[in-house]
Amino acid sequence: MNKDMLGALDALEKEKGISKDIVIEALDAALVSAYKRHYGQAQNVEIKFDEKKGDVHIYSIKEVTEEVMDSQLEVSLKEALTINPAYEIGDTIRFEVTPKDFGRIAAQTAKQVILQRVREAERSIIYNEFSAYENDIMQGIVERQDRRYIYVNLGKIEAVLSKQDQIPNEVYQPHDRIKVYIYKVENTSKGPQVYVSRSHPDLLKRLFEQEIPEVYNGEVEIVSIAREAGDRAKVAVKAENPDIDPVGTCVGPKGQRVQAIVNELKGENMDIVEWNEDPAVFIANALNPAQVVDVMFDEHQRACTVIVPDFQLSLAIGKRGQNARLAARLTNFKIDIKPESELDEVIAQREAEKLEREAKVAETEAEIKATESAMASELSDIEMPDFNADVEETIEEVVTESEVTEEASEQSEE
């Protein structure tokens, strides 16, 4: 060990951010391990590293005893007094045992342990760094792929992009730069593992924050997102300030702001709708671009029937039901879409269902009343015991027994 080692430790701390103290601790453990392996014992060995000169000294710690039972752990009082007359029984003495021929194998063992500790320290640093990016987005470079994952280089670590987290039909080529959403960071036995997504709804939220300052600073709030990655998404936005148009702010001049997000997501269509505290208005907005004539809510459940003009029925439902499906997920309402020509039928059906529900409620109430009446009648036919009489009889028995006991006690005393 020499000043070259000190230079290496300084470089390691500067380049990899690993504390010199961690490496020195690893070095101590490595030397103890090597000493134990080659010299048979290390239970009382102490390592001293000279941080100024870079030298390492190994000491054997022995206890001063009257009689030596184990020469590796103990030293006699007689021998201790030759070293220093002040030593007493129970004191400990450090003897330097640094081998002159520590050897290549011992050095290799030390090197392996140091490398292991260095890897662990690096893993800890990387885990802590990327844990801070959890639920955020980063730009990475596609490196390679296998049957399970696409591997994305995020700088200090390679993240994994699973098939379900990929945008359908999106082609990923090596060296492609893509933005990914980090949704989970795990510290596994093999090191930190970062999971990223291109299909997660929150990727869309973070992209809006990046592209639209008003969303980032909170002037415009994203209330909910419904997304079918790679095809279409609906985003509900609102603004507390009445002077701010939340939809126009997100779309931007000539659609420039939202177009940047669409381009990043390879052409995914984007519907930005205004949130409203009135569920009927919000549902009507969510079905954009279709017009809505009326929204009729079902009682006691989050469901509704939406009436649209006949010529806009297919537009409201969307291709393969996509528009209605996304609107339902955006509003958290079950939505049934009907054409305006069936409005009378819908009203009649709802009235019939209402009458049927009322009839069932009345029937149930009648059954409950009949059951209560029958139970009351049965209880009235049951002869209840006279508890008061039983109590009086029990009291008389106890009093009589007490009197008999007292008489027997008096006779005994006489």
pLDDT for res 41:
63
User: Over the stretch 304-326, which tens digit does the pLDDT of each residue have?
Assistant: 999 999 999 999 999 999 999 99
> How many Cα neighbours within 13 Å face the side chain of 248?
5
Average pLDDT over every residue of 328-347: 90
State both tokens at 26: 């690893």
Q: Which CATH superfamily is domain 3-128 in?
A: NusA, N-terminal domain (3.30.1480.10)
Fold that domain 210-344 belongs to in CATH: GMP Synthetase; Chain A, domain 3 (3.30.300)
C-alpha 122/C-alpha 360 separation (Å) is 68
For the cut 80, the answer to whether the pLDDT of residue 87 exceeds it is yes
Domain residues of the chain, as ranges?
Answer: 3-128, 133-197, 210-344, 383-414
pLDDT band at residue 116 under the 50/70/90 scheme: confident
pLDDT for res 411:
55
Q: Which CATH superfamily is domain 133-197 in?
A: Nucleic acid-binding proteins (2.40.50.140)
Average pLDDT over every residue of 390-406: 60
C-alpha 316/C-alpha 222 separation (Å) is 23
Asked whether the whole model's pTM tops 0.95, one would answer no
Backbone φ, ψ for residue 194 (5° rounding): -110, 125
For the cut 90, the answer to whether the pLDDT of residue 334 exceeds it is yes
Q: Reply yes or no: is the peptide bond before residue 289 cis, omega within 30 of 0.
A: yes
pLDDT for res 231:
93
Longest dimension (CA), the chain: 122
pLDDT band at residue 384 under the 50/70/90 scheme: low
- What would the 3-class secondary structure string for the chain be? CCHHHHHHHHHHHHHHCCCHHHHHHHHHHHHHHHHHHHHCCCCCEEEEECCCCCCEEEEEEEEEECCCCCCCCEEEHHHHHHHCCCCCCCCEEEEECCCCCCHHHHHHHHHHHHHHHHHHHHHHHHHHHHHCCCCEEEEEEEEEECCCEEEEECCCCEEEEEHHHCCCCCCCCCCCEEEEEEEEEEEECCEEEEEEECCCHHHHHHHHHHHCHHHHCCCEEEEEEEEECCCEEEEEEEECCCCCCHHHHHHCHHHHHHHHHHHHCCCCEEEEEECCCCHHHHHHHHCCCCCCCEEEECCCCCEEEEEECHHHHHHHHCHHHHHHHHHHHHHCCEEEEEEHHHHHHHHHHHHHHHHHHHHHHHHHHHHHHHHHHHHHHHHHHCCCCCHHHHHHHHHHHHHHHHHHHHHHHHHHHC
Highest mean pLDDT among 209-218, 360-369, 378-387: 209-218
pLDDT for res 262:
93
Q: What is the CA radius of gyration of the chain?
A: 41
